């Protein structure tokens, strides 16, 4: 993938899961990945184990706290002298409906999923612009492309879509591209442990399976790279067709229009 070598990229929530996969692949492409996470020991362990030819470093970052963002931006400027990319990956899930979600849970989700993205854009886009331009990738969700029952989580990810477009418009003249990736079902130990929900989501996915973290990470890296130099303000589903017609697929199968997948 062109144009990743030497780039300095911050990945929030980078110590585990999807974020860690992005960190590993950035380093493998020759980038300098910064693991931003509250789990300082895990972030440091990951940073010390990534493959070359790039490198990784760890910083402590609470995405829901503006002072933490100010400190992180200052530390990045002092240590690296520049920032070329940001992946707003940190997020939390909450399964509750409107009736079943407490206000405390609502605020907790919004602080991380929406405030965290806002603060990342606010404090990192100017730094990226001053470094000569670059790219931001916000991690949304397939539930931000359809109606969904998880009130707080879905609302937070719809908000990420709007912030993506606002920032893309604001920073285009300064050479900062801002896009959103919206993953569908991703196979992890956590998602696979809820067998009933996992199977239902697979059935609603036209491609007929879950993604693995690497498939999401490759799209993120493309959007960070020079190869995506004319892509900004875009919502990119990486969901096996879920947002394009997961419900329609199930209706078509139940009425015989489409064949039912084998068990």
Write out the catalytic residue numbers: 153
Structure tokens of 29?
């492409």
Name the residue among 67, 46, 59 with its Cα closest to residue 86. 59
Pairing of strands 55-60, 85-88: unpaired
Q: Hey, what's the torsion of the CAs at 66, 88, 221, 153, to 10 degrees?
A: 180
Three-point CA angle 70, 213, 19, nearest 5°: 15
Name the residue among 77, 120, 131, 84 with its Cα closest to residue 226. 84
DSSP string, 19-58: HHHHHHHHHHTT-EEEEEES-HHHHHHHHTT--SSSEEEE
């Amino acid at each position: 993938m062109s144009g990743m070598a030497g780039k300095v990229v911050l990945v929030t929530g980078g110590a585990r899961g999807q974020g860690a996969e992005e960190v590993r692949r950035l380093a493998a492409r020759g980038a300098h990945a910064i693991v931003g996470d509250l789990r300082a020991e895990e972030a440091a362990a990951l940073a010390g184990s990534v493959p070359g030819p790039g490198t990784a470093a760890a910083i402590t970052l609470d995405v829901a706290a503006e002072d933490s963002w100010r400190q992180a931006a200052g530390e990045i400027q002092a240590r690296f002298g520049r920032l070329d990319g940001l992946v707003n990956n940190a997020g939390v899930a909450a399964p509750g409906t409107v009736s079943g979600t407490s206000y405390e849970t609502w605020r907790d989700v919004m602080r991380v999923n929406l405030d965290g993205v806002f603060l990342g854009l606010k404090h990192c886009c100017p730094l990226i612009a001053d470094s000569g331009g670059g790219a931001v990738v916000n991690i949304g969700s397939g539930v931000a492309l359809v109606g969904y029952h998880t009130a707080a989580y879905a609302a937070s990810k719809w908000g990420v879509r709007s912030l993506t477009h606002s920032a893309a418009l604001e920073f285009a003249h300064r050479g900062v591209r801002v896009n959103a990736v919206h993953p569908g079902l991703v196979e992890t130990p956590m998602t696979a442990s809820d067998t009933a929900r996992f199977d239902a989501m697979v059935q609603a996915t036209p491609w007929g399976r879950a993604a693995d973290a690497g498939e999401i990470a490759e799209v993120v890296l493309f959007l960070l790279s020079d190869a995506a130099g004319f892509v900004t303000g875009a919502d990119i589903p990486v969901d096996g067709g879920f947002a394009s017609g997961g419900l329609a697929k199930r209706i078509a199968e139940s009425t015989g229009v489409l064949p039912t997948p084998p068990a």
